[in-house]
A and B are shown apart, each in its own frame.
Chain A
């Protein structure tokens, strides 16, 4: 399978945050959900892919091209949608087309007009007056008009009502029907990932906690529940985000340890939201343990 995006050993440090040895790849023809809590490094990773952040080490390839040396060639074929509109809000869609057209060799005005129409976007209204959902669709229309083969979306569905979110996800699903195209989208709303993503990458504290297909993720972890006295200390050590309460405990467990689970304990499938919560709990435990040692 040919990868449209490859990130190898990406490191980027700021004063209070760092991306550490980030590695993942996205094959052509698939959608990857990029998830993680606030401050986990999703936007920094996206900024690094776009060469907006200067990476300390590592290599990012998009379409097989180097993200730093070949940034212009990459951006010709790359569509970017951020959570807010980055265009001049006092201009109309038509005026924005005039601005952007010269930058892209493959800009197709017919496609742009057609997309505006099919997305229900007026071309004579100031884009600043568009609703949030319309702004997202407008940015997607721009990406489609310059024949972007790879689309990166940073929190595109946050702040959208369910109808607008559903519409946006449908547009992405339609976009990916062409097997040469791929989508990377970061989000907090994991139900969107569950719905349309083929691949999932979970970032936690600047590191890749999981990367792989959504099915692998679904099969890799379960939620373990039961009474605290029924879990062996060895198994407890292997739990992620162990949370004890008055009547028992719950925790996330890798399925490779399922053979150690006794009949007295219950397991159930974990969704991405739950996985994120347990990962965050584990992190808090580790920090508390470290504080206790100090």
Chain B
């Protein structure tokens, strides 16, 4: 087992006790909600990822003294941390896809009370091309969260947690503003070209966009990890 794998195992044992109950509850709620065609099942999965990621960060920041005592290189600790973040977020993305898939195939929504059943049926009756957009949105959300979290982790390792949180808030605010403007413009058919790039019309196009999003996220996580290893490996613990 190499040093990075040892660190991942170490962190997994540390967080599993804290996070397994939450993960189990959120996954169960998400899947049950999806079975009944309720779209907020997907939101549950997003929430689950948003809860897991900070816990991972907290765990690592508390253990720096321990890492100084273990026979392990600091670079391995950093690489393990970024790998954990990416894999956790990617699992979240896959879970959201699973929920969307279950949602589409299940007819259990019919047994729900009339009002809820009506909401679920609207979602269920969406044409395939529109339904596919949900996958794309889920992938985009996870890509954004992963990139921002990796960036924040990099800044907190290189500088400090306060600076990282400040920058995190600025990025989220700027992104929200830009995304809102673009969404409004797309909705009003002002920028059709951009719409075609961001929301391809065919299923194949959408899957390609999802693959590109994941590749970009992986590349960003790798770059942030490499920069952190270079700048923070010699930092005092």
Instruction: Answer yes or no: B9 CB below 8 A from chain A CBs.
Output: yes
Docked pose: A50 CA to B237 CA in angstroms: 10
Q: Closest Cβ of chain B: how far from A200's Cβ, in Å?
A: 25
Docked pose: A52 CA to B9 CA in angstroms: 23
- A75, A82, A98: the one within 8 Å of B70 (CB): A75
Instruction: Answer yes or no: A13 CB below 8 A from chain B CBs.
Output: no
- Are B71 and A72 in contact, with the CB atoms below 8 A? yes
- Are B71 and A86 in contact, with the CB atoms below 8 A? no
Docked pose: A104 CA to B236 CA in angstroms: 23
- Are B13 and A95 in contact, with the CB atoms below 8 A? yes
Instruction: Answer yes or no: B18 CB below 8 A from chain A CBs.
Output: yes
Q: Which residues of B contact A100 (CB under 8 A)?
A: 10, 70
Q: Which residues of A contact B216 (CB under 8 A)?
A: none
Q: Which residues of A contact B193 (CB under 8 A)?
A: none
Docked pose: A88 CA to B16 CA in angstroms: 12
Given contacts A102-B6, A102-B9, A91 and B69 within 8 Å (CB-CB): no
Interface residue stretch chosen among B60-68, B108-116, B151-159: B60-68
- A52, A72, A91, A99: the one within 8 Å of B68 (CB): A52
Interfacial residues of chain A within 92-130, with CB under 8 A of chain B in the complex: 95, 98-100, 102-104
Docked pose: A149 CA to B132 CA in angstroms: 62
- Are B6 and A86 in contact, with the CB atoms below 8 A? no
Interface residues on A, range: 20 to 34
- Are B237 and A52 in contact, with the CB atoms below 8 A? yes
Q: Which residues of B contact A78 (CB under 8 A)?
A: 69
- B14, B17, B68: the one within 8 Å of A51 (CB): B68
- Are A88 and B68 in contact, with the CB atoms below 8 A? no
Docked pose: A52 CA to B77 CA in angstroms: 14
- B10, B13, B69, B236: the one within 8 Å of A53 (CB): B236
Q: Closest Cβ of chain A: how far from B170's Cβ, in Å?
A: 28
Instruction: Answer yes or no: B73 CB below 8 A from chain A CBs.
Output: yes
Q: Which residues of B contact A50 (CB under 8 A)?
A: 68-69
Q: Which residues of B contact A19 (CB under 8 A)?
A: none
Docked pose: A88 CA to B65 CA in angstroms: 12
Instruction: Answer yes or no: A220 CB below 8 A from chain B CBs.
Output: no
By beta carbon, the residue of chain B nearest A53 is B236
Binding site for A on B (CB under 8 A): 1, 6, 9-10, 13-14, 17-18, 59, 63, 65-66, 68-73, 234, 236-237
Closest 6 CB pairs of A and B: A75-B71, A52-B68, A52-B237, A86-B66, A80-B69, A88-B14
- Report 26 cross-chain contacts, Cβ distance below 8 Å, ordered by A residue: A47-B236, A50-B69, A51-B68, A52-B65, A52-B68, A52-B236, A52-B237, A54-B234, A72-B71, A75-B71, A76-B71, A78-B69, A80-B69, A86-B66, A88-B14, A88-B63, A90-B18, A91-B14, A91-B17, A99-B9, A100-B70, A102-B1, A102-B6, A102-B9, A103-B6, A103-B10
